[in-house]
Amino acid sequence: MDPRVKAHAEIIVKYSTRLRPGETVGIYGTTLAEPLVEAVYREALRAGAYPFVRLSIPSLAPFFYRNANEKQLTHLSKLDWAEAREQQARVVILSDANTRALSGVDPKRLAKAARARKPIKDYVINKTRWCLTLHPTEALAQEAEMPLEDYQDFVYAGLFCDKKNPIAEWKKIERMQADLIRKLKGATSVRIVGEETDLSFSIRNRIFVNSIATNNLPSGEIFTAPVETSTEGTIYFDLPTARDGVRVENIRLTFRKGRVVEATAERGEEYLRKMLATDPGASRLGELGIGTNFGIQRATCEILFDEKIGGTVHLALGSAYRECRGKNDSALHWDMIKDLRPSAGRKVGFLEFRWPNGKAKILRPKGKRFVFENP
C-alpha cells in the first residue's frame, strides 16, 4: 500500500472524525476508492469503532438518474434513515470513474432527487461527524489535466500526506485560521473587489467558522453566511467549476436585494439557470469562504480542492450552514470561486471588511499568505 494512503486514513480516523471505541462509522465510495476504503476500515477497527462499508459501482448512478421513474427518483426508504441514525460518523470518498457521467441527465431530475434527499443530508450534516475527502483516480487526473502520478502527488501534498507528521501540519493551519477569525471578529459587512467584480453584503451577527480538516479533507478555509437579503452588485467567477458532470465556466452574477437577477456563463449557462430555479433559496447566497491553503496553488475543477486555494474566495448559492447562523434554506449548495491573486493581465483583488465603529480593513493575498491593510 502507498504509505500516503495509510497516512490519509490515519488523518481521517484520528483527526477528522476522531473516532472513539464503540462508535459506528459508515465508509462510502466507489469501487475505485478500494485502497483508501480498506485503509480507513483498518484504522477504524484499530480505534475500537464499528466500521461498515458501502461501495458503489460507478455506472449505477448515471443509470439511476436517467431511468428512475418519479417515485424511484424521490424515494427515501426506512433503511436510508436507519443507516443515517445508526452512525456517529460518516466518511464519503470522492472517486469518480467519469467526471462527465451525469452530463446528459436533465438537471431538473438531479434537482428533484436532491430536494427529496435533503432531510437525510441535513440530518447527517447536523447530527454526525462527517468527512468528505477524495481518492485520486484516472478520471479526476484527466479533469485536472495531469498524468495520474502527478495528480496523486498534487492530492497528497494538499492533504500533507507527504509530510512526516500530517496531523501536526493540519493543527498549524487550524491555529493560523483561528488567528484570522479573531481579527475579523465583529465585522458587519464585506465588499469583494476584483476583475469585473464589486459585490457587497452584510455579515452582521454571523459567525466565521474555522474549517479544520474535519468535514472537508483537505481543508484550508474560514467561512460564514451572508445575510440573506443583503447582497448587492456583480461578481465574475474566473475559475471553472464542475457539478453533476457539467463544466461551467466564466460565471457572471448580478444581485439585487440578496437575489440573483442576472446570470450568464460562457459555458454551461443553461445548467446554471436550471440550478438557480431549484427552489426559492437557490438564487441567494448561503456561504462566503476564504481559501487559506497556500499549499494548493492551481485549480483542478474539483471543488473540494479548488475552494481551498490560498488567495481565493468562494461564494455558495443555496443552503447556509447553521453553525454560521445562516438562515438560507435550499436543496442546492454550489460553490463558485473568485481568484484574488495577481496574474498576467489581472490585478490583485481584495476583501474590504467594515465594523460598526467605522473601522475598515482590507484583506488581500500577498505571496503565500493573506495580509491586512488599511483602506
Listing DSSP states for 261-317 in one string gives: EEEEEEESHHHHHHHHTSSGGGGBEEEEEEE-BTT--S--S-HHHHTTBTTEEEEEE
Average pLDDT of the residues in 247-267: 96
285-304 pLDDT, tens digit each: 999 999 999 888 888 988 89
CATH number at residue 148: 3.40.1830.10
Structure confidence at residue 42 (pLDDT):
97
Mean pLDDT over 239-253 rounds to 90
Q: Are residue 314 and residue 353 in the same domain, yes or no? A: yes
**Residue 165 and residue 169: Cα distance in Å, rounded?**
7
Residues 246 and 297 in one domain: yes
Distance CA 245, CA 265 (A): 16
Same-domain check for residues 288 and 152: no
Residue 96: pLDDT over 70: yes
Q: Are 8 and 84 in the same domain?
A: yes
pTM more than 0.75: yes
Is the pLDDT at 127 greater than 80, yes or no? yes
* Contact indicator for 138, 302 with CB cutoff of 8 Å: no
- Which of 137, 162, 187 is the C-terminal boundary of a domain? 162
Per-residue pLDDT, 226: 97
**Residue pLDDT, tens place only, 309-350:** 999 999 999 999 989 999 999 989 999 999 998 875 667 799
What is the pLDDT averaged over residues 202-226?
93
332 in the same domain as 290: yes
User: Domain range for residue 20?
Assistant: 3-162
> Tell me: the pLDDT tens digits for 37-81?
999 999 999 999 999 999 999 999 999 999 999 999 999 899 999
Q: What share of the chain has pLDDT > 90, as a percent? A: 75
281 in the same domain as 185:
yes
Count of the separate structural domains present in the chain: 2
Out of 162, 187, 217, a domain closes at 162
Grade residue 212 by pLDDT with cuts at 50, 70 and 90: confident
Last residue of a domain, one of 162, 185, 200: 162
